[in-house]
Amino acid sequence: MNKQLSNWTVLGIETSCDETAAAVYTTENGILSSKLFSQIEQQKMFGGVVPEIASRTHVEKIEPIITEALQAAGKTLNDINVIAVTSKPGLPGSLLVGACFAKSLAYALKIPIIGVNHLEGHAFSSFLEYTPPFPHICLTASGGHTSLYLITDYGKYKTIGQTTDDAAGEAFDKIAKLIGLPYPGGPEIEKMAQAVNFVDFFNYTRAKKPTLDFSFSGLKTAVLYDLVKRGAYDLATKTLLDHSLELKQQVSSSLLVAIRDIFIQKLEIALKLNPEIKSVSFVGGVACNKYLKAALANFCSKNGLEYFTPSPKYCTDNAAMIAFVGHYMAQREQFDDLDLDIL
Ligand code: KG4
Ligand code: ZN
């Protein structure tokens, strides 16, 4: 590769769900800026993401966010020599906004474009701040995905476990809704659980399957039926009958401990199957949870593993992780054509 072309200034663009994000990453200095517009306030009104609203908001916000990211990096569009854009998976209408904008820029600036898998972005998000040794296991837990990746090099990863139904973040969001907590549920559940010191009040059944796949819909059902049994929820009318803070705290705390146990059980299995593992990372929106982060750190230290978790700004959806993956793909000249699809 000629020297000039190995010096990349990447503009990363992420619009797979409800965050409009842009970032600048350079070969010389790594991440220079990472900006986003979160639609969380809009989504709160509807108790979740409304795809139509998400894509319309991306259309409004994508240009100002890219401008902000360039300014914060001290760069202009003319400094950018490759564009990395999330091309899958995600909400089609949302992905299309980012992909079309990225293609237009690449065409106008006559620079290459790279489609990045959003999940590869999450899987390598801890590499923005750290250099975990390989082989590495990454637990990604977000609102849309819960997966375990075995990572042996940059861009070389294998999914060794994933959710067969709801994602972990989705379980937090759905159960929060059930007990009258606002969206997004994860941070609310954490606050409630912390107030009662993370005690396991209700000991919800954890499906102890000896596989690496996750299942959270059973846990949601266990919480629901436990509420019914306690006379706190009416199944026929689907209404919460007990609005006490005490119930919210006890359900939240028991749920968080159950999810902790599920994560640790899966990591134990993964390590048994892959004893050569040197390090573990915990990423995705759910990795903002301080209790879970600490529990996994403790597990790793007991098992002699290095442990990494990104700063919260790189745990939730962001474009820095997309620019990072785009950067190592650019170094390998893994470019896409302008007919890059989002599926
Ligand atoms: O990665 P992310 O921003 O978006 C997706 O790609 O889905 O993750 C959002 C998810 C939501 O389900 C939210 O409830 C969860 O991450 N989350 C948390 C916490 N903060 C966000 N879950 C548990 N504890 C938290 N502190
Ligand atoms: Zn995500």
Q: What letter would DSSP give residue 127?
A: G
Please give the number of the atom of ligand 1 that sits closest to the Cα of 172. Answer: 14
Summarised one tens digit per residue, pLDDT across range 109-135 is 999 999 999 999 999 999 999 999 999
- The 10 Å Cβ neighbour count of residue 5 is 13
pLDDT band at 5 (very low <50, low <70, confident <90, very high): low
Q: What is the pLDDT at residue 26?
A: 98
How many whole angstroms from 80 Cα to the centroid of ligand 2?
25
Q: What is the pLDDT at residue 64?
A: 98
Ligand 1 neighbour 310 (Cβ under 6 A): no
Ligand 1 neighbour 284 (Cβ under 6 A): yes
Return all residues near 218 (Cβ < 8 A) that are at least 6 apart: 165, 205, 207
15 pLDDT exceeds 80? Answer: yes
48 pLDDT exceeds 80? Answer: no
60 pLDDT exceeds 60? Answer: yes
Whether the CB-CB separation of 173 and 186 falls below 8 Å is answered with yes
Taking residues 268-272, what's their average pLDDT?
97
- Could you give the CA distance from residue 263 to residue 256 in angstroms, rounded to a whole number? 11
Q: What is the pLDDT at residue 2?
A: 46
Side chain identity at 305, as an amino acid letter?
Answer: L
How many whole angstroms from 66 Cα to the centroid of ligand 1?
24
Taking residues 309-325, what's their average pLDDT?
97
Please give the number of the atom of ligand 1 that sits closest to the Cα of 176. Answer: 14
Ligand 1 neighbour 289 (Cβ under 6 A): yes
Please give the number of the atom of ligand 1 that sits closest to the Cα of 173. Answer: 14
Mutation choice for ligand 1 from 316, 318, 321, 322, CB with most ligand atoms inside 8 A: 316
Looking at the CA of 86, name the nearest ligand: 2
Summarised one tens digit per residue, pLDDT across range 150-170 is 999 999 999 999 999 999 999
- Of 66-75, 150-159, 209-218, 263-272, the one with minimum mean pLDDT is 209-218
Strand partners, 117: 88
How many whole angstroms from 112 Cα to the centroid of ligand 2?
24
The pLDDT mean for the chain works out to 95
Looking at the CA of 185, name the nearest ligand: 1
Taking residues 69-96, what's their average pLDDT?
97
42 pLDDT exceeds 90? Answer: no
How many whole angstroms from 178 Cα to the centroid of ligand 2?
23
Strand partners, 138: 149, 281
Instruction: Specify the residue with its C-alpha closest to ligand 1, atom 23.
Output: 186
Q: What is the pLDDT at residue 3?
A: 45
Whether the CB-CB separation of 128 and 141 falls below 8 Å is answered with no
- Classify 192 as helix, strand or coil: helix
Looking at the CA of 122, name the nearest ligand: 2
How many whole angstroms from 312 Cα to the centroid of ligand 1?
10
pTM assigned to the model: 0.93
Q: What is the pLDDT at residue 1?
A: 44
Taking residues 204-220, what's their average pLDDT?
89
- Could you give the CA distance from residue 284 to residue 125 in angstroms, rounded to a whole number? 9
